[in-house]
Structures are given as structure tokens and as C-alpha cells.
Structure 1
Amino acid sequence: MSKVLDEIRNAIESSGTSRYAVSKATGIPQAQLSRLMAGTSGLSIDSLERLADFLGLEIIIRRKQRKRSK
């Protein structure tokens, strides 16, 4: 999950939008966003979806490809 959170963090940072504005637009408390940005907290699925939508990101879940044994 850390790759997903890294992408969310990078998108927030590169958006040029303040955490306050992100908080107001998504309904996610500023304290939670601060913990996310510091890497000390994760996100609920609901919060992850709201942030992704706000940032124009799409979350895709797919099965891993199995490594074939020789």
C-alpha cells in the first residue's frame, strides 16, 4: 500500500493546492492529511477514493501475475 500512498503524497505536493483546500474539498481533516504527508498514518479506503478523485487519479486493482516456475 505504500506505493499508493507515495503516489497520493506526490500528487498532493505537485498539485500546488494547500492542505487546507484539499481538506475542505475532500472532507478529510487537516490533521489526517498532515499525518499522511509525514508518513505516519495511512488512509481509509473511503478517504483514499476521495483524495484520488480530487487529484484526478484513478485507482486500479488487478491480480498480480504469478511467477512461473521452470
Structure 2
Amino acid sequence: MSVAAMTQAGVQVTKQFAARTQNLFNVTTEAIQDRSSKLASFVQTPSPAEKIVQEGLTLRGARLDIKV
């Protein structure tokens, strides 16, 4: 095998590796963004217990306002 042929084969392998690495990076980035957005929406949504506490505090505040 000539040096030129070996060099060309090396270039092809490097290009394939670069393409696969880029694809892996894209898939990983997409997965991270998807999980980040899911986590952000989960964190922003109050749990049922938090809603009850918030409503209870609001009712207590309303009762205090009515009494005062």
C-alpha cells in the first residue's frame, strides 16, 4: 500500500470518527436540553401539598383580614 493510499485511508477514518463524534455530541446535547426543560417545568409546578399550604395561608390571611 502506498503512502498516499494509507494517508487517504487515514483521512477517511478520521472523517468517519469526526462525524460519529459530532452525532454523539448532538444527541447528548439534545438529551440534556430535554431533561433540563422537563426538570425546569417540574420545579416550577407546585406539588399538591404546596398548593394546599399556599391556599391555606391565603385563607388564613383572608380570615385575618375579615376579623380585622
- TM superposition score category, shorter chain reference: under 0.3
| TM score, norm. by length of structure 2 | 0.23
- Higher Rg: 2
| TM score, norm. by length of structure 1 | 0.23
User: Which structure's relative contact order is higher, taking Cα pairs within 8 Å and 6+ residues apart?
Assistant: 1
The structure with the largest helix share of the pair is 2
